[in-house]
Amino acid sequence: MSSSGLVQIDGLSPIRKEDRKTSKVMLLFPPEWVPTAPYLALPALTSVLREAGHTVVQRDINIEMYDHFFTMEFLIWVKGRLGMQLKPLQDKEKAGRLTEQEAAQKAVLEEAYAVDVFDLAQRSEDAKLIVRGERFYDAEKLERALNTFREAMQYISAAYYPASLVFYPMESNLGYRPGVSKEVFACLDDEQVNVYRDICNQLVLPSVSKEKPTVIGISIGTQMQLMAGLTFCKMIKESFPDIHVVVGGNVVTRLQEEWAKHERFFTEVFDAAILYEGEHALLWYIEAVNGQRPMESVPNLMYHASGAVQQSKEVYTEKTAALPLPDFEGLPLDHYFVPERIIPYLATRGCYWGRCTFCDHGQGYFDQYRGMTAQHVVEQVTALRDKYQCRHFLFSDESYPPALFKKVSQLLVDRNVGIKWTTLIRFEETLQDQAVWDLAAKAGCCTLYYGMESANERVLNLMDKHAKKSVIQNNLHQAAKAGIWNHVMAFYGFPGETRDEALETRQFVIENQPVIHSVELFYFVAYRHTPMVRNPDKFGITIHKQEEYDLPLDYYYTLNEPVGISCLDAMQLCEEFYKNDFSPWAVRVNSREHVFLYISKFGTNKLPQIYAATKDGATTAEGVSGLVTWPMAIGEGDEGKEGMSRVVSHGVG
């Protein structure tokens, strides 16, 4: 039993096959996520539901949205929306009644309306052919395609003024704060800025009308998906009140205390929320909807009954080795913005280290780390390879355990599986043999993502990472020598870190640039479920909670003593790094999966063609969209310690 009063259970008794009632279930993955590969949540849920006999329609609305955006049909539709908004503003200007804000909107609309939409649409359609075909591997053509997508997104944004819709990285902003419930509810009904209302009308509701599911599940993995996911929920409930709408995902679990305080979400937006892992909880919820078990018996569940929000006291965690193979059937595997199929795979749940004081990813799971044997992993990867004709895999684990890393690599080589893969990994003393890295490369490992966080050992010990600087350096050199691309993530401003210690991280990165192929520097953010926020005095910080932020995922903090750099200092150091030091790492091929495929194609981590270059031959960060271009806060974690979350992983549930 946990301190929260929740009780872990082994599971509910299965219903006999002859007594089962089967349903049609629709699973939706909302924007915004990188459109380069499926997210693992839906296939993981689908496999369990289909195994139980339910009919499942799974829809990745994220990739469908981007595919839809970059079409002649949609861009001409946007042109019409621009004209409809522009005409009344021009009339108001003639009447002398135009406000300053309306004048700003009119200027944006006029600029967009003057764009040759037919040319933009043709270039956008060709850009999709580039990212899905052999021209992808010509870096100049790929860069041109990505810039065309950004140009189209800017054009679309004008029609939803003042929203800013961005292709990649995921930084779209509708002008409402997702941490403020009052603004969330306002955004859901805002026809002007909420582009997801039109996406729902055009892509989601027609499908719901056609399929007529009993239950719709929407997986919301990150805060960036919150507005889109909740918009879909509300519009589906309004149009189809008899359909049961249930939400799940990492961010839903993180906000579980807040959902209970806002009954309105359960009466207006969705019917139920599944916390923690969702495969069997969703199955049992469907059975409860079908009247085959009491709703109150379903673990991991929040729902509305008897005029109040109810929460199950029981929690179920999945037995990873007993789960069926993720089922990707029905997803548009050839529509992602890559020329080769890429599939995510998860061998472990949770983090085997699980001690970092800045990290709250464990909040998405109820219990500790679990994993499968290397043999099981390789058998499942081989089965996925054969079933979906796919040879590129994202191993989406929080941090790949060293023993599993070695064993899986050996089995992949011994069985000649012939795949390429990438994953997140810790710097480890047990990985200081060059033969380990050579074996991983031979097994198909192309790129690795490391959460270095700091190069100062005192600060690393404060974080409870306990990595040695010499080990970090050795791992990087050995992996690079084996031909693996090293992506390093670090951040400034851990409470107590001095300016000199922060600059030690900067200097380490610069000095080791030949073996650090891409880099991200963030600033520290106090995420709400971290050990630091739970014990602020221990770390010398004061947490400042603001009443209006009633859906918080992080908090503003200040240092109790003037020791170390402040949050603002850390942000400034980040800005200085990207302004002054980032040039050697500025790339024009800017997503993890794109770099992964380049290394797979060309067989080397020396890829000068993907870096931006100035006229004198030097690289530059100016105007370049880097692997992730601008400082993102560390600590978030749906995919590898959530500061990496927008870059890397594929959580489940």
Model pLDDT for residues 408-417, shown as the tens digit of each residue: 999 999 999 9
Which residues lie below 8 Å from residue 642, measured CB to CB, with a gap of 6+?
359, 360, 361, 527, 634, 635, 636
Whether 3 shows a pLDDT value over 80: the answer reads no
* CA 637 vs CA 19, 323, 364: distances in Å: 41, 23, 9
Which of 158, 189, 206 lies at the terminal end of a domain, its last residue? 158
The size of the chain, in residues, is 653
**Which CATH number covers residue 552?**
3.80.30.20
Whether 624 shows a pLDDT value over 80: the answer reads no
Same domain, 433 and 391: yes
Rounded to the nearest 10 degrees, the angle between the axes of helix 139-158 and helix 117-131 is: 140
d(CA 95, CA 109): 19
Same domain, 53 and 76: no
Whether 50 shows a pLDDT value over 70: the answer reads yes
Whether 4 shows a pLDDT value over 70: the answer reads no
pLDDT tier for residue 362 given thresholds of 50, 70 and 90: low
Whether 611 shows a pLDDT value over 50: the answer reads yes
Beta-sheet pairing, 541-544 with 554-559: antiparallel
Task: Quote the percentage of the chain above a pLDDT of 90.
Answer: 85
Give pTM, 2 decimals. Answer: 0.92
Quick check: is 43 in a domain?
Answer: yes
Q: What are phi and psi of 469, to 5 degrees?
A: -60, -40
pLDDT at 170: 80
Whether 615 shows a pLDDT value over 90: the answer reads no
pLDDT at 638: 35
Contact 445, 400 (CB under 8 A): no
Contact 76, 68 (CB under 8 A): no
Same domain, 526 and 637: yes
d(CA 476, CA 76): 49
Same domain, 259 and 382: no
pLDDT digits (tens, 9 = 90+) for 586-602: 998 878 999 999 999 99
Which residues lie below 8 Å from residue 23, measured CB to CB, with a gap of 6+?
54, 55, 213, 214, 215, 286, 289, 290
Residues linked to residue 526 through DSSP beta bridges, in sequence order: 555
Task: Quote the percentage of the chain above a pLDDT of 70.
Answer: 92
Whether 141 shows a pLDDT value over 60: the answer reads yes
8-state DSSP, 169: S
Nearest in space to 477 (alpha carbons), one of 506, 423, 514: 514
pLDDT digits (tens, 9 = 90+) for 222-277: 999 999 999 999 999 999 999 999 999 999 999 999 998 999 999 999 999 999 99
pLDDT at 319: 92
Same domain, 438 and 499: yes
In which residue are the tokens 């996911």 written?
229
Quick check: is 396 in a domain?
Answer: yes
Range of the domain at 153: 66-158
Same domain, 134 and 207: no
Which residues lie below 8 Å from residue 69, measured CB to CB, with a gap of 6+?
75, 124, 152, 153, 156
Lowest mean pLDDT among 10-14, 178-182, 424-428, 475-479: 10-14
pLDDT at 6: 74
Residues linked to residue 219 through DSSP beta bridges, in sequence order: 248
**What Rg do the C-alpha atoms of the chain give, in angstroms?**
24
Average pLDDT over residues 614-634: 37
Whether 607 shows a pLDDT value over 70: the answer reads yes
Residue 147: CB atoms within 10 Å? 16
Quick check: is 543 in a domain?
Answer: yes
Residues linked to residue 311 through DSSP beta bridges, in sequence order: 302
Same domain, 293 and 396: no
Tally the domains of the chain: 3
d(CA 567, CA 486): 28
Whether 644 shows a pLDDT value over 60: the answer reads no
Nearest in space to 481 (alpha carbons), one of 515, 454, 457, 505: 515
pLDDT at 7: 76
Type of residue found at 155? Y
Same domain, 307 and 381: no
Which of 255, 286, 320 lies at the terminal end of a domain, its last residue? 320
- How buried is 20 (Cβ within 10 angstroms: 0-12 exposed, 13-18 middle, 19+ buried)? middle
Whether 73 shows a pLDDT value over 60: the answer reads yes
Average pLDDT over residues 355-380: 86
Quick check: is 171 in a domain?
Answer: no
pLDDT at 645: 29
Whether 570 shows a pLDDT value over 90: the answer reads yes
* CA 418 vs CA 372, 438, 600: distances in Å: 21, 15, 12
Which of 98, 124, 158 lies at the terminal end of a domain, its last residue? 158
pLDDT at 361: 73
pLDDT digits (tens, 9 = 90+) for 37-46: 999 999 999 9
* CA 192 vs CA 44, 60, 64: distances in Å: 35, 24, 21
d(CA 649, CA 638): 6
Same domain, 230 and 123: no
Residues linked to residue 371 through DSSP beta bridges, in sequence order: 348
pLDDT tier for residue 2 given thresholds of 50, 70 and 90: low
Lowest mean pLDDT among 169-173, 300-304, 390-394, 603-607: 169-173
pLDDT at 20: 85
pLDDT at 629: 32
Whether 35 shows a pLDDT value over 60: the answer reads yes
Quick check: is 85 in a domain?
Answer: yes
Quick check: is 135 in a domain?
Answer: yes
- Sign (positive/negative) of CA torsion 543, 546, 551, 556? negative
Nearest in space to 524 (alpha carbons), one of 508, 541, 509, 511: 541
pLDDT at 633: 26
d(CA 92, CA 98): 5
Quick check: is 327 in a domain?
Answer: no
**Which CATH number covers residue 53?**
3.40.50.280
Same domain, 417 and 522: yes
pLDDT at 17: 79
Quick check: is 280 in a domain?
Answer: yes
Average pLDDT, the chain: 91
Same domain, 34 and 75: no
Which residues lie below 8 Å from residue 206, measured CB to CB, with a gap of 6+?
none
Residue 9, token pair as written in the block? 């259970």
Same domain, 389 and 524: yes
d(CA 426, CA 399): 6
Average pLDDT over residues 196-202: 98
In which residue are the tokens 């749940």 written?
349
